[in-house]
Amino acid sequence: MQDGGQQVPSTEDGSEEEAIKQRKNGLYRNVSDELAESMRTGWADTELHDLKPIPQAAETAARRARLS
């Protein structure tokens, strides 16, 4: 028997099992419309302005050279 276009498997005694609902996970290449809409909203303004390097940044190049 079919349920919503999906084949419903039968058990050995002939009774039908409940259809398995398809999950939305990383197996699909396309982003669903529902996910795309969710990703368009609710983002905080994370743009950082007037940033200044921390004092340790001046030593970064020399430290990296010593470690290489």
- DSSP 8-state secondary structure symbol assigned to residue 33: H
Q: What is the pLDDT of residues 25-66, one digit of tens each?
A: 666 677 788 888 988 888 888 888 888 999 999 999 999 999
Strand partners, 16: 10
pLDDT of 67: 93
Q: Is pLDDT above 70 for 1?
A: no
d(CA 40, CA 36) in angstroms, rounded, equals 6
